[in-house]
A = this chain, B = another copy of it.
């Protein structure tokens, strides 16, 4: 599987394989570059942060991953989930505790087709972020009010 991803003209070096592994093992985590760096460093201690950035850039270019921004000032990375065999999905972001919940569910309303046809736009990918209060925080708030 890994080999297939890189078969083009790029080499799947040890470092790149490490980055790939970390990303695969944390599919649901939305890691930042630095987090990938620390996790990869565990198995490859002489890995550099620069390499992580360059590898992520390469993966972005090859559409292996894509990047998101949850407003905390650093970019986060996730495997690509559009057109591929992954289901498209979207994110619920709690504005109180910052937790990001992934919803693995199709986009509603045949959105992508409608956009393509009605608005003359060739859709490549979608990102849907829903901000609000998660159940935990709602409970917490309730408890603090009732004592």
Cβ 8 A contact of A121, one of B124, B125, B135: B135
A132 and B124 alpha carbons, distance in the complex (Å): 4
With A71-B69, A126-B128 known as contacts, the answer to whether A121 contacts B108 (CB < 8 A) is: no
Q: Is residue A114 contacting chain B, with contact meaning CB distance below 8 A?
A: yes
Contact with B along A103-123 (1 / 0, CB 8 A): 100001111101110011111
Chain A contact-residue range equals: 20 to 34
Q: Is residue A26 contacting chain B, with contact meaning CB distance below 8 A?
A: no
The interface residues of chain B lying within 8 Å CB-to-CB of A95 are 124
Q: Is residue A14 contacting chain B, with contact meaning CB distance below 8 A?
A: no
**B121 near A101: Cβ-Cβ < 8 Å:** yes
Q: Is residue A64 contacting chain B, with contact meaning CB distance below 8 A?
A: no
**A122 near B109: Cβ-Cβ < 8 Å:** no
Residue of B nearest to A111 (CB): B108
Residue of B nearest to A120 (CB): B135
**B134 near A121: Cβ-Cβ < 8 Å:** yes
Min CB gap A111→B, angstroms = 6
Cβ 8 A contact of A127, one of B114, B129, B135: B129
Residue contacts A-B, CB under 8 angstroms, 16 given:
A69-B69, A95-B124, A108-B111, A115-B130, A116-B132, A120-B134, A122-B138, A123-B130, A123-B131, A123-B132, A124-B131, A125-B131, A125-B132, A126-B131, A127-B131, A128-B128
